């Protein structure tokens, strides 16, 4: 997929998400205020925070889609990973804020009983945000965008956060003496948001510190290189992610009697085969060693 097509699809789904989030935030804030529900108002803040993450993705696409230059020979794809980390941290901060406000409110007077408007708004939010999550995450996986998938999880967490809000408001309406359920629902929202944020941030941080591919993927790449005519052995594979792409270095051993040109041709064949079999690979460096005479290197330490 061309870069321009990829970024156009990311922007299209994000613009739709931004519009939906603005509408839902206004709906839930009004319904939560009129219906006297702290959980639904907290849910409205979460929807509003999704607007900020939508903007971050829209701005980020302009940056990470820029071509390579002298200062950035590997391109700007890591900007997408940085945006993903920021989205996750922002989501975590929102969850902590909602939880703190809910716990603090438990110490205050009970307040008014939540009304039907709050219940309806939360139920509508579940349906709309779950549909938006499914669409956004499908596009995110199709274009291999970690930032878009992270933003999709913001939509899913908004849908999930509305579930305890519905239960809390419904419980408080049926059992007025249990008005504290509204605050408990907001705390449940907080925990769900923090859990999702952790799942977003952890793999993105791994990319930023150059974590390699899983062993199974590395084994498949080595096997592909070794199947090239003229390659006696492939070893010393190093991999890292550049946004949605993969960069790797690999050593191949060839017969020592070959000319430099012949060795180069074999290395180029291995390089093309890796590109053909692994579409996510965007950069390959192949080093040629004489068969059976490659320098011994200590294997990477296992954690």
pTM of the model: 0.65
C-alpha to C-alpha distances, 179 to 86, 113, 235, nearest whole angstrom: 35, 7, 64
Containing 254, the helix (H) or strand (E) segment is strand 245-254
Q: pLDDT value at position 174? A: 74
Q: pLDDT value at position 166? A: 75
Q: pLDDT value at position 162? A: 72
Closest by CA to 151, choosing from 68, 231, 61, 73, is 61
C-alpha to C-alpha distances, 177 to 34, 163, 184, 223, nearest whole angstrom: 20, 21, 14, 66
Q: pLDDT value at position 254? A: 94
Domains annotated for the chain, with CATH where assigned, are: 3-208 (1.20.1510.10), 215-290 (3.30.70.1350)
Q: pLDDT value at position 224? A: 94
3-class secondary-structure state, position 212: coil
Identify the sign of the CA torsion 138, 142, 144, 48.
Answer: negative
Strands 233-242 and 245-254: antiparallel
Average pLDDT per block of 10 residues along the chain, 303 residues long: 72 88 85 74 72 79 77 79 84 79 64 67 84 89 80 76 70 68 72 80 86 91 94 93 87 93 94 92 92 65 54
C-alpha to C-alpha distances, 221 to 57, 247, 274, nearest whole angstrom: 32, 12, 7
């Amino acid at each position: 997929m061309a870069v321009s097509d990829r970024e156009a699809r990311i922007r299209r789904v994000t613009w739709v998400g931004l519009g939906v989030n603005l509408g839902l935030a206004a709906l839930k804030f009004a319904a939560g205020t009129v219906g006297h529900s702290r959980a639904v108002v907290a849910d409205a803040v979460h929807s509003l925070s999704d607007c900020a993450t939508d903007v971050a993705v829209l701005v980020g696409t302009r940056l990470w889609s820029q071509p390579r230059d002298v200062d950035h020979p590997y391109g700007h794809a890591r900007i997408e990973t940085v945006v993903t980390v920021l989205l996750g941290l922002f989501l975590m901060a929102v969850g902590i804020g909602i939880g703190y406000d809910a716990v603090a409110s438990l110490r205050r007077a009970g307040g008014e009983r939540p009304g039907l408007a709050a219940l309806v708004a939360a139920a509508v939010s579940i349906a709309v945000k779950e549909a938006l999550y499914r669409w956004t995450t499908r596009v995110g996986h199709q274009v291999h965008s970690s930032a878009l998938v992270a933003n999709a999880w913001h939509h899913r967490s908004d849908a999930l956060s509305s579930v305890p809000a519905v239960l809390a408001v419904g419980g408080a309406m049926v059992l007025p003496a249990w008005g504290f359920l509204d605050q408990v629902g907001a705390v449940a929202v907080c925990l769900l948001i923090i859990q999702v944020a952790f799942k977003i941030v952890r793999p993105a941080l791994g990319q930023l510190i150059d974590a390699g591919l899983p062993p199974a993927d590395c084994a498949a790449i080595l096997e592909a290189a070794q199947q090239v005519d003229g390659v006696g052995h492939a070893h010393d594979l190093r991999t890292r992610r550049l946004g949605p792409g993969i960069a790797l270095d690999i050593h191949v051993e060839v017969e020592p009697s070959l000319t430099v040109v012949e060795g180069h041709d074999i290395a180029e064949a291995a390089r093309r085969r890796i590109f053909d079999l692994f579409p996510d690979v965007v950069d390959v460096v192949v080093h040629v060693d004489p068969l059976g005479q490659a320098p011994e290197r200590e294997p990477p330490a296992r954690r």
